Amino acid sequence: MRTIAVEEHFVTPAFVQGPGKGFLDRFKNSGPRGVLISERLFEMGDKRIAEMDAAGIDMQLLSLNSPGVEQAEPAEAIAGARDANDFLAEAIKRHPTRFAGLAALPIQDPAEAAKEFERCVRQLGFKGTNINGHTRGRYLDDLFFSPILACADTLGVPIYLHPTVPHKPVADALYGGFSPSVSGVLASSGWGWHIETAVHLLRMILGGVFDRHPKLQVVIGHMGEGIPFMLPRMNRNLTPQLTKLARPFGDYLRQNVHYTFGGFNFAPTFLNLLLEIGVDRIMFSADYPYGSMEEAKSFLQHLPVSEADRERIAHGNAERLFGL
Ligand code: ZN
């Protein structure tokens, strides 16, 4: 069964000295696993491919690791995005059947971001962009970012909306007050990343992004960042009379959004997503190197779905959405 993993990460030497300065620190104190993760993030050749082979993964759709360039000064973000995209394009050139790419974009400067987006898709053959959440507290519903959304629409490629740490005032108010390590995990992988990403998507819907761009497709990971659980409630309470949107709230979540595993290899969470959204919008991902490709593949192989649906999740939906 061809298997495409669509939320897989890398870093570049320039990234960890520039927009991602300090990024490697968290791995230094986390023992052998931390060392392994940081090695794997840099490795874009034979070792990564050997691991993919061992896990039965045919292709990784790659994106620059969060925080990406989104929190940097505009000039640093422009240079950082270009470096990461060129680095990724070289890796894809060496292994065109095993790697595909999502563009990093300097979204602080929407005109430059649109130019880089176009270069990545038209010249480098990338399949969309990966945006790491807010930019210093600004979200994609802000009309400031319109050129980037219009560009995705024109190019006909999706936006992967990836988590990032919440904006500092949000993190302090909601997640502060515990030990630094508890607050840190609560604000990130324990809860905050996911809720932050979910709210970001809800803001895009309520801000009319998908009324202005009805064909635009957004991808979120982590089995839907909690959204499927809340979907019936939001659909009932955020009515078109209230929101003044063109469609019922749930329609946007079923017509403009795709969902991936992202290391959430939890059967009840998957079943909730399947029941609310349907199989045509669910895609496999491992969130490498944080999630294990073997575990994700085994989870996929044991899902209680038909073989035809397993194929849709493993590769068919990704092939259609990203043109792979
Ligand atoms: Zn990820």
From the list 281, 241, 234, 238, the residue with the least C-alpha distance to 259 is 281
- Which segments within the chain are labelled E, that is strand? 4-10, 59-64, 99-101, 129-131, 159-161, 218-220, 257-260, 282-283
Ligand 1 centre distance from Cα of residue 164 (Å): 9
Residue 287 catalytic?
yes
Determine phi and psi for 8, rounding to 5 degrees. -130, 145
Tell me, yes or no, if the pTM score tops 0.85. Answer: yes
Catalytic residue among 83, 109, 141, 287: 287
Ligand 1 centre distance from Cα of residue 241 (Å): 36
Q: Which token pair is 8?
A: 């897989």
Ligand 1 centre distance from Cα of residue 311 (Å): 22
Ligand 1 centre distance from Cα of residue 199 (Å): 17
Ligand 1 centre distance from Cα of residue 287 (Å): 5
Lowest mean pLDDT among 28-42, 82-96, 155-169, 261-275: 28-42
| Residue 128 half-sphere exposure toward CB, CA atoms < 13 A | 27
Question: What distance in Å separates the CA atoms of residue 248 and residue 105, rounded to the nearest whole number?
Answer: 31
Query: Model confidence at 39, in pLDDT bands (50, 70, 90)?
Result: very high
Query: Model confidence at 32, in pLDDT bands (50, 70, 90)?
Result: confident
Residue 23 confidence (pLDDT): 87
pLDDT digits (tens, 9 = 90+) for 230-247: 999 999 999 999 999 999
Question: What distance in Å separates the CA atoms of residue 158 and residue 153, rounded to the nearest whole number?
Answer: 8
